Chains A and B, each alone.
Chain A
Amino acid sequence: AQSVTQLGSHVSVSEGALVLLRCNYSSSVPPYLFWYVQYPNQGLQLLLKYTSAATLVKGINGFEAEFKKSETSFHLTKPSAHMSDAAEYFCAVTHGMIYNQGGKLIFGQGTELSVKP
């Protein structure tokens, strides 16, 4: 079975500071990993994805994540936080065979990011 754990349901950073949102996964087969962002009262938007190509993945809005198999981690980072980054972030896992059978993404519980001026 696959699972995702996001460490910290709330993270607060100052504007201009480093953003680090943690995601650890469990999967018995090579995973596909995703980060989604949800702004208030909106649907989810894909930030970036790892599908077995380069381990350092760059996404939209200056975010990036690194797949570390030895640590079973896929942490999301951004060098300098903006006020507009305040949102909820979700990590999700699947693997190719399941995904091609219908898109069974397993989501983490979410991390709410606050950005202080």
Chain B
Amino acid sequence: NAGVTQTPKFQVLKTGQSMTLQCAQDMNHEYMSWYRQDPGMGLRLIHYSVGAGITDQGEVPNGYNVSRSTTEDFPLRLLSAAPSQTSVYFCASRRDSPYEQYFGPGTRLTVT
């Protein structure tokens, strides 16, 4: 099992550019989430999905889109990058029980 994988590991964007952060898991987990991590703020939920075809917003969804066409994949799209989106992005997946959430290694994004 590869667990949760994320690509790319690092990315630099210019303001206004768009891109997609990739996330995949091979554990057949129904639940997947995207978080952003900023210094002193812990992790904040951007979007989540409870299964293929079902997504919903988290705490900080503005500027991001998601879709879930398969159980395995949960890409995060930045529509028009802004410097405020400079952050480390983590994808996570979990099973229903015993509730352990598995995190990917993260994508470090810088928007100039």
A interface with B by C-beta (< 8 Å): 4, 9, 32, 34, 36, 41-46, 49, 51, 90, 92, 99-105, 107-110
Q: How many A-B residue pairs have CB under 8 A?
A: 62
Band of interface residues on B: 20 to 34
Q: Is B44 an interface residue (CB 8 A)?
A: yes
The reply to whether A49 and B99 contact each other, CB–CB distance below 8 Å, is yes
Contacts of B99 in A (CB 8 A): 32, 49, 51, 99
Contacts of A41 in B (CB 8 A): 106
Chain B: which residue is nearest A108 at the CB level? B42
* Cβ distance A41 to chain B, nearest Cβ, rounded Å: 8
Candidates A43, A51, A100, A104; contact of B45 at CB < 8 Å: A104
6 A-B pairs in the complex with CB atoms less than 8 angstroms apart = A9-B40, A43-B4, A90-B43, A102-B50, A103-B48, A104-B45
